[in-house]
Every structure is written in structure tokens, then in C-alpha cells.
Amino acid sequence: MMPESRTPVTTGQTAHPTKGGKMALGAFIFISVTGDHTRSVHTTIQRIAGVKAVYTVTGAYDIIVQVETETFQGLGELILSKIRAIDGVNQTVTCLILS
């Protein structure tokens, strides 16, 4: 029998402890905003738990958000129930942080 590994093993997610000692899942969310809602969307997103940074950018997307949650379910809820529910959010693309 092989000895049990004490190092966390992850599959496609960031592995670093949160304050509670659990492993965190990090992601960048690229957001397209409709009309002139960029400032209001930026301000609203800053207030959401799990959001680590919010950037207004140029290019194909209007805003890039760095988030951290403990589970995929938490990430899904953050995106679907909180970010996509904001007035002016047109589209999101999520990229998981691997390293």
C-alpha cells in the first residue's frame, strides 16, 4: 500500500489555502457590457464577496474580474447569480487559473 500524500492534488484549479485552510479556486472573468454601463457594473462587482480585483480594460471585453471561491459550485453561483444578474452585463467568459 502506498503512503497517503499530504500534498493537495488538483485538477485544473488553483491550489492555495484560503484563510480557513481550504483550497481556493481562482478565475478571471472577462465581461462585455452593453451601452454606457461600464462604470456602474465595475462599481457593483467590486462589492461582491469573492472578487479579488476588477479592471476596466480596452479590447474585446470591457471589464476583467479576478475571483476566488472554495468550490466550482461557488464559482458558478458567483457568475450566474451575481455577476450576470447585474444590469448592463451582456456576456461573460471565464478562465480558470491553473498556476
pLDDT in tens, 2-39: 443 333 333 344 445 555 666 689 999 999 999 999 99
Supply the pTM of this predicted model. Answer: 0.78
Among 14-18, 38-42, 61-65, the least confident range: 14-18
Of the candidate CATH numbers 3.30.70.920, 3.40.640.10, 3.20.19.10, 3.30.450.20, the domain formed by 25-96 belongs to 3.30.70.920
Contact 67, 25 (CB under 8 A): no
Of 99, 97, 32, the residue nearest 69 (C-alpha): 97
pLDDT digits (tens, 9 = 90+) for 82-96: 999 999 999 999 999
